[in-house]
Amino acid sequence: MQFPDSLLSIKKQFADLPFEAILKTDLLRLGLSFSPEALKVCASAKPKSYFIFSFDRVAQKDLSEIERKSVPEEIALIGGPHDLKRTIVSVRVNPASPYRIETQTSPPGPLSLVRRGRVEGERSDPICDVILPSFPAYYGVPLSSGKPVADIAPTIEWGYLIYLTAFRLCQYFGAEEECQFCDINHNYRQQKNAGRPYTGIKSSGEILEALDIINQKDTEKLSHAYTVTGGSVTSQLGGMKESEFYAQYARAIEKRFPGRWIGKAVVQALPEDEVKILKDAGYAIYHPNYEAWDKRLFEALCPGKSRYVGRDEWIRRIVESAKIFGPENVIPNFVAGVEMSKPYGFETIDEAVASTAEGLDFFMSQGICPRFTVWCVEPNTELSKTNSEPPSLAYYLRLLQVYRDTFRRHRLPIPPGYGEAGVGKAVFSVSAFMDVL
């Protein structure tokens, strides 16, 4: 493990970025571990649901029993010597990370985030306090089938988003078709092997039942949106093409709970008639993720999407979908960092950031605001074979600057369906894009 430069020198170098966003990005990039005492405290918090991918730096089989059960979905960073504002971060387990959650000894009780010493026995530097997400009341109520709500309708983003992975597999299958950074198929197998309730294809009925429980028990109305997503459907699933398969869920949800949540569909870039099916079903927001902007990289990293749709057609469809959803409601994701992955990626930070900036400018100039997630180098993905570590923190911080500046230059509205933007308010937990707007 390469320990990054001291946080203070990075803070000085990127003084125009909130330190909260810097730390959040580094935690997403490197992951974190927990002391045994901290895990005991975490046991009563909201556990990690593995809502779609593993988002861990190690396989389930390499985690202890208590890690598998007690690692929380997210943590909130707050206070400490840097006086951090509350910052929500998704938890990515990595026993080798320099970041660790420990129990405070003086006074005993609350949890701290520390930066471990570079050598065994060296003092750990405390960075801030850590707040855990409380175990939601709706997680304690099983469905009539006995399935837990956390399997069918887990919530993330500090309770803001209900994450409905309707299809936990992808029909792009194997090294020749799967996106090279994606572990959806592997993660499904490992979660089943670990004995976790992990439904492969969810029915509308069980999703409605889970939502009913959430609607009743979420008395503070923390949940504001739902995402319906899953693997790509290249032929048919249950006799339906991709748009019809994913449309059935919004149709059912909006009929039962009209307008209760903002509906989002994370599916492929589909032809216009299929995009219309999604819109008519009741989705308000469409996420046709483009993963990496550069054409050569898209083709190398997304071989299935390239073969079935093609990069230029993918981009054309994203732009066309703005006519149906409205440009502000088309929010395609890219996986930040894969543009620097070996062996296909750019050699330098300048080249990688310039390429991504070109894509941002292309979309934002048309009113479409992409968003990004920080790449987690998950084991058993194709890219993990050639990338033991993620790109540098400096790369990610340059990207955050470019993202923020491009967004401001085009004077776009805050993307809908993500809650409030800004430090201390953002809840999006897998990148700091909302923290810097």
Which residue ranges make up the site for ligand SF4 (CB under 6 A)? 170, 172, 178-179, 182, 184, 231-232
Tokens, residue 392: 């540098």
Are β-strands 155-156 and 161-167 bridged in parallel, bridged antiparallel, or unpaired?
A: antiparallel
Report the nearest approach of ligand SF4 to the CB of residue 374 (Å). 15
Tokens, residue 114: 């520390």
Report the nearest approach of ligand SF4 to the CB of residue 419 (Å). 24
- DSSP for 334-393 reads EEETGGG-TTTS-SSHHHHHHHHHHHHHHHHTTT---EEEE----TTSGGGGT-SSPPPH
What are residue 89's phi and psi, to 5 degrees?
A: -130, 130
Report the nearest approach of ligand SF4 to the CB of residue 430 (Å). 14
Residue among 383 and 426 whose Cβ is closer to ligand SF4: 383
Cα separation, 424 vs 18, whole angstroms: 10
Residue among 316 and 323 whose Cβ is closer to ligand SF4: 316
Cα separation, 113 vs 20, whole angstroms: 13
Of 328, 329, 351, nearest to 340 by C-alpha is 351
Report the nearest approach of ligand SF4 to the CB of residue 174 (Å). 10
Residue among 211 and 374 whose Cβ is closer to ligand SF4: 374
Distances in Å between the alpha carbon of 341 and those of 180, 297, 299, 388, 405?
10, 10, 14, 10, 24
Of 12, 6, 13, 11, nearest to 22 by C-alpha is 11
Cα separation, 304 vs 180, whole angstroms: 10
Report the nearest approach of ligand SF4 to the CB of residue 263 (Å). 19
Report the nearest approach of ligand SF4 to the CB of residue 172 (Å). 5
Residue among 102 and 291 whose Cβ is closer to ligand SF4: 291
Are β-strands 33-34 and 99-105 bridged in parallel, bridged antiparallel, or unpaired?
A: parallel
Angle at CA 240, nearest 5°, toward 248 and 193?
85
Strand order in the sheet with 99-105: 33-34, 99-105, 108-115, 125-131, 74-79, 84-90
Residue among 154 and 231 whose Cβ is closer to ligand SF4: 231
Residue among 172 and 375 whose Cβ is closer to ligand SF4: 172
Quick check: 321 and 384 in contact, CB under 8 A?
no
Residue among 284 and 302 whose Cβ is closer to ligand SF4: 302
DSSP 104: E
Report the nearest approach of ligand SF4 to the CB of residue 308 (Å). 10
Which ranges constitute the DSSP H helices of 98-183?
149-152
Residue among 20 and 291 whose Cβ is closer to ligand SF4: 291
Report the nearest approach of ligand SF4 to the CB of residue 199 (Å). 16
Residue among 289 and 355 whose Cβ is closer to ligand SF4: 289
The residues facing 72 across adjacent strands are 47
Report the nearest approach of ligand SF4 to the CB of residue 302 (Å). 6
Cα separation, 27 vs 167, whole angstroms: 28
Report the nearest approach of ligand SF4 to the CB of residue 200 (Å). 13
The residues facing 226 across adjacent strands are 162, 263
Residue among 314 and 325 whose Cβ is closer to ligand SF4: 314
